[in-house]
């Protein structure tokens, strides 16, 4: 049985050139707006004014930061609820949010190439930028924290060629590493409360470890060992962690469309391994999964990559652990686990 490739090739130079032009177009406006923002100051240590302002790009980072900071932080998600991150285009107001923030947390240029682009327009010196992918993604030798609020390295689309799968949080071992990196950012920005943040991080990592053990126990009992996915290539880390094979309809690029040949391959794999379910992803219309399900008679289940959540889920306070618990339930059904 062929195991999924670990590469996630992304060629963002093929994206619509108008995106780059729009970004350049509002840089001047951003610089003007930034002059209206109060200059950054150190965190006020007086009673009642000790909450760090934290801005995150993706939902896992948002939830991890909430767990570490708790009542000493105000955490916000840059992505509007319901917006798929690959199609997100930042606005001038997003840069203004960073101008008044203490921490900005993202997962690196592979997942959010637009994050480093908007950082080039941030003028505040108080912002600590946290790259939560540090120590996980291969080939990333830059430091996890940037004190100036500026993204390192060269600018422009030429940086964003990669052969790396960026969905690192779906391996719960990686999720714990990301929590540690986020903790370091909190401590760097607010060292007086290191013990508080560290205690919160350890408690949350223990919950992630317990969930990882639950995945290990459950998925070890499955009759089926292959995940057939009608969505984008996002679950390679999860599949590798739990010794599963994984095939998706889309190639690695977020802009690529599945070919007729690829759809035929998925239908053949469903038949070959006697799989009765095809998975679809969150936040986009499951067109591909529906086509395959209709043509093969298999049923559909959602597998949530947790990039972002709906407005309703955000309003009720859904957590990353809840999303992963539901994923395990759906994997148990689709893979026929005990």
Determine contact, residues 214/328, Cβ cutoff 8 Å.
yes
Determine contact, residues 83/36, Cβ cutoff 8 Å.
no
How far, in Å, CA of 143 to CA of 149, rounded? 13
- In angstroms, the first-to-last Cα distance of the chain is 22
In tens, the pLDDT along 207-248 reads 999 999 999 999 999 999 999 999 989 999 999 999 999 999
User: What is the pTM for the complete model shown?
Assistant: 0.82
The CATH fold of domain 212-334: Rossmann fold (3.40.50)
Nearest one of 77, 33, 79, 35 to 55, comparing CA atoms:
77
Residue spans of the domains in the chain: they are 10-209, 212-334
How far, in Å, CA of 157 to CA of 154, rounded? 9
Long-range interactions of 66-74: CB distance < 8 A, separation 24+: 67/179, 67/200, 67/201, 67/203, 67/204, 68/179, 68/182, 68/183, 68/186, 68/197, 68/200, 68/201, 68/204, 69/186, 69/197, 69/200, 70/200, 72/190, 72/193, 72/196, 72/197, 73/186
Given a cut of 50, whether residue 268 has pLDDT beyond it is yes
In tens, the pLDDT along 113-159 reads 889 888 988 988 889 999 999 989 875 556 777 765 454 444 333 33
CB count within 10 Å of CB 42 equals 9
Is-same-fold flag (10-209; 212-334)? yes
User: DSSP letters of 14-79?
Assistant: GS-HHHHHHHHHHHHHHHHHHTTSPPP-PPP-STT--PEEEEESSHHHHHHHHHHHGGGEEEEESS
- CA distances (Å), origin 91, targets 18, 34, 137, 157, 191: 14, 13, 28, 18, 32
Q: Is residue 248 helix, strand or coil?
A: strand
How far, in Å, CA of 201 to CA of 64, rounded? 9
> What is the CATH superfamily name and number for domain 10-209?
Nitrogenase molybdenum iron protein domain (3.40.50.1980)
Q: According to the model, what pLDDT value does residue 28 have? A: 44
Given a cut of 70, whether residue 103 has pLDDT beyond it is yes
Q: According to the model, what pLDDT value does residue 77 have? A: 97
- Give percent above pLDDT 70 in the chain: 77
Look up residue 102 and give its DSSP letter.
Answer: S
């Amino acid at each position: 049985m062929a195991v999924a490739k670990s590469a996630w090739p992304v060629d963002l130079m093929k994206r619509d050139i108008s995106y780059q032009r729009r970004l350049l177009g509002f840089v001047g406006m951003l610089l003007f707006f930034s002059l209206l923002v109060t200059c950054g100051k150190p965190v006020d240590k007086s009673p009642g004014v000790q909450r760090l302002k934290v801005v995150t790009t993706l939902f896992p980072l948002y939830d991890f930061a909430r767990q570490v900071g708790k009542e000493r932080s105000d955490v916000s998600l840059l992505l509007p609820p319901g917006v798929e991150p690959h199609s997100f285009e930042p606005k001038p107001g997003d840069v203004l949010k960073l101008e008044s923030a203490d921490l900005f947390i993202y997962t690196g240029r592979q997942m959010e190439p637009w994050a480093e682009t908007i950082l080039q327009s941030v003028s505040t010196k108080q912002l600590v930028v946290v790259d939560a992918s540090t120590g996980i993604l291969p080939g990333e030798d830059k430091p996890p924290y940037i004190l100036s609020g500026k993204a390192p390295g060269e600018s422009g689309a030429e940086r964003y060629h990669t052969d790396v799968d960026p969905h690192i949080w779906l391996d719960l071992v990686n999720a714990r590493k990301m929590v540690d990196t986020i903790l370091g950012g909190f401590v760097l920005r607010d060292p007086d409360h290191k013990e508080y943040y560290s205690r919160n991080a350890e408690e949350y990592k223990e919950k992630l470890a317990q969930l990882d053990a639950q995945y290990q126990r459950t998925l070890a009992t499955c009759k089926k060992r292959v995940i057939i996915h009608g969505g984008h290539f996002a679950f390679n880390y999860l599949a590798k962690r739990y010794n599963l094979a994984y095939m998706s309809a889309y190639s690695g690029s977020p802009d690529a469309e599945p070919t007729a040949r690829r759809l035929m391959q998925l239908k053949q794999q469903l038949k070959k391994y006697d799989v009765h379910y095809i998975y679809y992803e969150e936040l986009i219309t499951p067109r591909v999964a529906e086509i395959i399900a209709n043509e093969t008679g298999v049923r559909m289940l959602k597998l949530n990559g947790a990039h972002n959540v709906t407005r309703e889920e955000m309003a009720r306070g859904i957590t990353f652990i809840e999303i992963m618990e539901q994923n395990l339930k759906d994997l148990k059904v689709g893979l026929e686990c005990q």
